[in-house]
């Protein structure tokens, strides 16, 4: 079981969260070409090591979070709000 330190709620069991996806994806504009959308939706790296993921604290504060997690060890290196404004307020922009 992973334990995720939510910046709003504190450290909680991962069963309170739901996994979103690859947090490094920059979704293109709605009218972007089909190739851009194809890459954003379907192309994924299978990283062995630290990757940035989105998780939602769905049974908590419902905030979407960016989580840097090691896929080999489950070690979590950093957790910050996905909303840039929220991250700025907390002083954890990266």
Partner 1 sequence: MSASRLTKGGRIDRSRKVTFSWDGKTFEGFAGDTLASALMASGEQVLGRSFKYHRPRGIMSAGVEESGAIVTLGKGDRVEPNAKATMQELFDGLSASGQNAWPNVRCDVGAVLGLFGRFFSAGFYYKTFMGLPPFEWGRGTGIWMQYEKLIRKAAGMGEASREADPDSYDHVHAFCDMLVVGSGPAGLNAALTAAQQGKDVILVEQDFELGGDLLNQSDPAVETQRAELIDALQSAGVRIMTRTTTFGLYDYGTAGLLERVTDHVTAPSQDAPRQRFWTVRAGATVLATGALERTIAFTNNDRPGVMTAAAARTYLNRYGVLPGQNIVLCTNNDSAYVSASELAAAGAKVTVVDLRTDVGADQLGAMQTAGVAVKTGLVPLKALGGKTVSGVQLAREAGTGWAAAETLSCDLLLVSGGWSPVVNLLSHRGAKPAWDADLACFLPASCSENVVMAGSATGHWQAADCAASGIAAAKVAMGEDAQTPTLGGWDTPIKPVYEVRLPGSKTKSFVDPQHDVTCDDVRLAHQEGFVSVEHLKRYTTLGMATDQGKMGNVIGLALMAEAMGKDIPAVGTTRFRPPYTPIAIGALAGRNVGTHFKVMRRTPLHDWNLRHGATMTDAGLWHRPWYFARKGETINDAYIREATTVRETLGICDVSSLGKIAVQGPDASEFLNRVYTNAFAKLAVGKARYGIMLRDDGMVMDDGTTWRLSENDFLMTTTTTGAGRVMVFLEELLQTRWPDLKVHICSVSDQWAGVSIAGPQTRDVIAACMEDPDTVSADNLPFMGVKKIRLKGGIDGLIARISFSGELAYEIYVPSDYGEPMMDLLWSETEPRGGCLYGLEALGALRIEKGHVTGAELDGRVTIDDAGLGKMASTKKSFIGSTLRQRPELLREDRPQLVGIFPKDRSQTFNGGALLCKHGDNIGFGEGWVTACTHSPALGHWIGLGYIAGGHEAWQGKSVTATDPVRQGDVEVEIVSPHMFDPKGERMHG
**Which residue among 30, 45, 49, 94 contacts partner 1 (CB under 8 A)?**
30
Q: How far is the CB of 16 from partner 1 (least distance, A)?
A: 12
**Which residue among 9, 18, 19, 77 contacts partner 1 (CB under 8 A)?**
18
User: Helix, strand or coil for residue 14?
Assistant: helix
Contact in structure between 83 and 64 (CB atoms under 8 Å):
yes
**Angle (CA) 34 26 73, round 5°:** 125
Q: Which stretch binds Zn ion (CB under 5 A): 22-30, 45-53, 56-64, 82-90?
A: 56-64
User: CA 71 to CA 19: how far, in whole Å?
Assistant: 13
Residues 48-87 that bind partner 1 (CB under 8 A): 54, 56, 58, 62-64, 73-74, 81-86
């Amino acid at each position: 079981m992973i334990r995720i330190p939510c910046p709003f709620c504190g450290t909680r069991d991962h069963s309170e969260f739901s996994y979103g996806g690859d947090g490094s994806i920059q979704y293109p504009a709605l009218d972007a070409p089909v190739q851009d959308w194809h890459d954003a939706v379907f192309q994924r790296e299978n990283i062995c090591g630290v990757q940035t993921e989105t998780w939602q604290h769905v049974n908590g504060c419902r905030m979407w979070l960016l989580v840097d997690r090691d896929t080999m060890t489950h070690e979590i290196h950093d957790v910050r709000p996905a909303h840039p404004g929220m991250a700025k307020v907390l002083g954890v922009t990266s």
